[in-house]
């Protein structure tokens, strides 16, 4: 819409520690569709993780939070105010003589599961009387305390036997006890999807929580895949990218006010690791000879934010290069009382061959097959009343690559006439060809990414060096 209206757009986005922003200006810079895009990645919005999970992703994220609180580097910090503080206390306590023998550890690990899947679920039920679906069902405390941890060898055998199938409730409890006892004997470490014990703990906790909330359990390897795809959304990255958006907005406004001002638009990147930029400075301490014979030195500067010139539009882009099929439908006297729904089906679908059309007008959807049909009984002429500009719809069809502009004219003639259909079909064919040129060829299946609204910290010692 911005491309068609000629309105500048400041595009931006973040993922974890990385982010970027750049201006999209018609005829000046490339638009979002100028470059081929990889296959769509399924994104889950993680919400109500602690109160009422509705997907396995929620359960996995909850389990990862619990892992970091109990066995991650954050477990070294005292005074945790999270809901896991009491659970952490069960494992941090020791026997009277200060030792942590296997029997004591096993009992404490059982207490963790009782707290998570019995006591906390009971607290939820007491706080909330109405549930959109079936309320959670806590596990039986006696059942948890009657089960023992399996050995490491038996754990490996169970994992080998359940590559594509999920574990039972009892098996999840036994494996979780084994994983907790193993992790308690190790030094704290952040979650890694390559670490079998870490993934085993997360998998068991997630599946037990899924069972409590009536969700379908998942196999071990599927949990590993989900846990490895969770990407934190970090407030600091968002702030840096937002500052970049304001900077580019200022450049766009300056250019609109004074056309003689330079086009100083930039693409701004935010990266997780510092990038080395080298520049020359006058200092004879570490000299090297330039082509001008001056003693200069290289100065290494580390940047988390850097810029690059904006790219020019792609001549083959079907969006910003105005590849828009346009037709005009002239309606005679018999059709002055036609409704929007009849027009959509009799003309847009049948005559223009736009299957399952979605029709918009003035940036608002007015008709969409099976989804937005509230106005289908309204007279088309009434919908067009008061329109001082051209009476037109922006229409997309599931069998078309481009969005079509369908103009409507009313006349005193009999019958109807469609103008520009042949030319519109040629434009559609051109748009289809451009889309094929821009579509990347890949045999890899689409991946799943999980975006989590939270802040976080991580250590990264790698430095990328660029000239």
> Per residue in 64-123, pLDDT tens?
989 988 888 765 555 444 567 777 777 765 444 444 566 778 888 999 999 999 999 998
Strand, coil or helix: 393: strand
| pLDDT score of 465 more than 70 | no
Render pLDDT for 52-78 as a digit per residue (tens, 0 to 9): 788 898 899 899 989 988 888 765 555
Render pLDDT for 119-159 as a digit per residue (tens, 0 to 9): 999 988 887 766 777 889 999 999 999 999 888 889 899 98
Q: Which residues contact 167 (CB under 8 A, 6 or more apart)?
A: 158, 175, 204, 207, 217, 220
- The pLDDT-based confidence of 26 (bands split at 50, 70, 90) is confident
b/e per residue 280-318 (b: at least 16 CB within 10 A): eeeeeeeeeeeeeeeebeeeeeeeeeeeeebeebbeebb
Domains of the chain: 1-278+302-320 (1.10.10.520), 326-431 (3.10.290.20)
**Greatest mean pLDDT among 94-108, 375-389, 445-459:** 375-389
For 441, the token pair is: 């060829």
Give residue 437's pLDDT: 56
CA distances from 56 to 135, 254, 445 (A): 16, 49, 20
Q: Sheet containing 416-419: which strands, arranged edge to edge?
A: 364-368, 358-361, 392-396, 404-410, 326-331, 416-419
Give residue 27's pLDDT: 82
User: Regarding predicted confidence, which is higher, 182 or 430?
Assistant: 182
Give residue 179's pLDDT: 93
Q: Which residues contact 434 (CB under 8 A, 6 or more apart)?
A: 316, 317, 318, 321, 323
């Amino acid at each position: 819409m911005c491309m068609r209206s000629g309105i500048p757009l400041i595009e931006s986005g973040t993922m974890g520690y990385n982010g970027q922003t750049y201006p999209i200006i018609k005829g000046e810079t490339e638009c979002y569709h100028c470059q081929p895009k990889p296959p769509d990645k399924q994104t889950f919005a993680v919400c109500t993780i602690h109160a009422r999970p509705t997907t396995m992703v929620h359960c996995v994220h909850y389990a990862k939070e619990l892992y970091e609180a109990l066995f991650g580097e954050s477990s070294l910090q005292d005074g945790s105010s999270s809901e896991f503080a009491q659970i952490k206390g069960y494992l941090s306590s020791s026997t009277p003589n200060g030792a942590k023998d296997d029997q004591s550890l096993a009992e404490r690990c059982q207490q963790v599961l009782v707290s998570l899947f019995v006591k906390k679920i009971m607290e939820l039920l007491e706080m909330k009387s109405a549930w959109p679906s079936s309320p959670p069902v806590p596990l039986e405390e006696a059942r948890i305390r009657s089960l023992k941890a399996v050995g490491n060898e038996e754990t490996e055998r169970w994992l080998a036997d359940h590559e594509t199938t999920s574990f039972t409730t009892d098996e999840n409890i036994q494996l979780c006890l084994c994983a907790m006892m193993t992790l308690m004997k190790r030094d704290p470490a952040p979650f890694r999807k390559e670490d079998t014990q870490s993934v085993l703990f997360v998998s068991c906790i997630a599946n037990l929580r899924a069972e409590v909330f009536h969700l379908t359990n998942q196999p071990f390897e599927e949990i590993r895949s989900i846990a490895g795809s969770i990407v934190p959304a970090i407030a600091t990255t968002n702030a840096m990218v937002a500052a970049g958006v304001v900077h580019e907005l200022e450049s766009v406004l300056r250019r609109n006010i004074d056309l003689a001002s330079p086009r100083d638009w930039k693409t701004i990147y935010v990266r997780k690791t510092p990038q080395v930029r080298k520049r020359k400075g006058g200092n004879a301490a570490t000299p090297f000879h330039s082509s001008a014979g001056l003693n200069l030195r290289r100065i290494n500067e580390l940047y988390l934010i850097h810029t690059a010139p904006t790219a020019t539009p792609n001549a083959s882009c079907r969006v910003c290069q105005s590849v828009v099929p346009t037709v005009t439908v002239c309606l005679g006297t018999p059709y002055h009382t036609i409704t929007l729904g009849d027009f959509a089906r009799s003309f847009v679908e049948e005559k223009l061959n736009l299957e399952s059309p979605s029709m918009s007008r003035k940036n608002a959807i007015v008709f969409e097959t099976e989804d937005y049909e509230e106005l289908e009984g309204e007279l088309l002429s009434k919908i067009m009343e008061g329109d001082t500009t051209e009476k037109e719809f922006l229409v997309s069809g599931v069998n078309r690559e481009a969005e079509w502009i369908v103009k409507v004219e009313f006349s005193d003639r009999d019958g109807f006439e469609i103008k520009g259909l042949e030319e519109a079909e040629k434009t559609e064919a051109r748009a289809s060809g451009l889309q094929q040129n821009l579509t990347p060829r890949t045999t890899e299946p689409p991946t799943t990414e999980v975006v989590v609204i939270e802040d976080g910290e991580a250590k990264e010692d790698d430095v990328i060096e660029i000239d």
